[in-house]
Amino acid sequence: MKFALSTAFTPVTALPQIAVAADKAGWAMITMSDHVVNPKELKTPYPYTPDGSRRWPEKTDWPDQLVTMGAFSTITEKIQFTTNAFVLPMRSPYMVAKALATISVLSGGRVVLTTGVGWSRDEFEIVGQDFSTRGKRTDEMVEIMKLLWSGDYVEYHGRYYDFPPLEMNPRPVAPIPFWFGGISDAALKRVGRIGDGWLSDLQPAAEIVASIDKIRAFRREYGRENEPLAVLASPMDVFDVDGYRRLEDQGVTHILMQPWMVYHPGTQDPQVMVDDTYRYADEVIAKLS
């Protein structure tokens, strides 16, 4: 079992200290969350709360994920970086491919892209991307990015993207996995069809395991049942070593959590966050390594 440290809702100024601490303490990954803008009034209800309201307060820091991973690559040595999650169809596949390849080179291949198709029509409209085609465009974007990362001349002729032979360098120094978030059948099917991993929501363990079973069934449909599957899970009802071991037996490979939410919920003190990062590594991660 490996552990990923979530930096969601964390002040940007605290991130470098936390990343260095997580790297030294033995965390496997560090993640950051994604919003470009947050409209004052939502026309699209947030899908993961009963009343459609957001989980975060106004004016929460949402640092650019790719910029942050690039910064982390210069101050850490071993820890991997991933996104939690990156809304790929709000962006250009060319710009994202270029940024991730650069991060791969700077970090020595320590980057994973965890993406989702997004929920906020409001945000898509503001950044000028089509919300209704986001799923199909995501599929094409994955194909395009993998082609571009070859470093050779490639061309693509799809429904939404079309380009003549071109090349993009530098190429990544290692394959960049695609993990996908989402709990709908469409999201789980995408993991089964083209994903290397799955990101859960904050869910009961039983729901996470049921989703893993669905993904495995989809993978069998696509002849991918023998390929490795990473699962980055946030169980809302498992907090102990034995519980994590049971989840590992059922297919969970990574646990996503914030250590200061265990010891000091609501803190915004960077030193407390750093101390809790080390403490959780000593009290929990070391027992599962």
Provide the whole-model pTM.
0.93
Is 16 among the domain residues?
yes
Residue 78: pLDDT over 90: yes
The DSSP annotation for the chain comes to -EEEEE-TT--GGGHHHHHHHHHHHT-SEEEE---S---SS-SSPPTTSTTS--SS-TT-----HHHHHHHHHTT-SS-EEEES-EEGGGS-HHHHHHHHHHHHHHHTS-B-EEEE--S-HHHHHHHT--STTHHHHHHHHHHHHHHHTT-S-EEEE-SS-EEEEE---SPPSS---EEEE--SHHHHHHHHHH-SEEEEEEE-HHHHHHHHHHHHHHHHHTT-TTS--EEEEEESS--SHHHHHHHHHTT--EEEE-HHHHHSTT---HHHHHHHHHHHIIIIIHHH-
Domain span including residue 196: 2-119+172-288
- Residues 25-31 have a mean pLDDT of 98
In a domain, residue 149? The reply is no
- Residue 95 pLDDT exceeds 90: yes
The CATH number of the domain where 249 resides is what?
3.20.20.30
Say if residue 171's pLDDT is above 80.
Answer: yes
- pLDDT on residue 48: 79
Overall number of domains in the chain: 1
% of the chain at pLDDT higher than 90:
89
Whether the predicted pLDDT of 35 surpasses 80: yes
pLDDT surpasses 80 at 289: no
In a domain, 125, yes or no: no
Any domain includes 46:
yes
**pLDDT (mean) for 21-35:** 96
Residue 161 domain-assigned (yes or no): no
Q: Report the pLDDT value the prediction gives residue 4, as an integer from 0 to 100.
A: 98
In-domain check, residue 63: yes
209-247 residue pLDDT tens: 999 999 999 999 999 999 999 999 999 999 999 999 999
Residue 147 within any structural domain of the chain: no
Averaged pLDDT for residues 192-196: 97
The predicted model gives 153-179 an average pLDDT of 98
Is 142 inside any structural domain?
no
pLDDT tens track for 144-156: 999 999 999 999 9
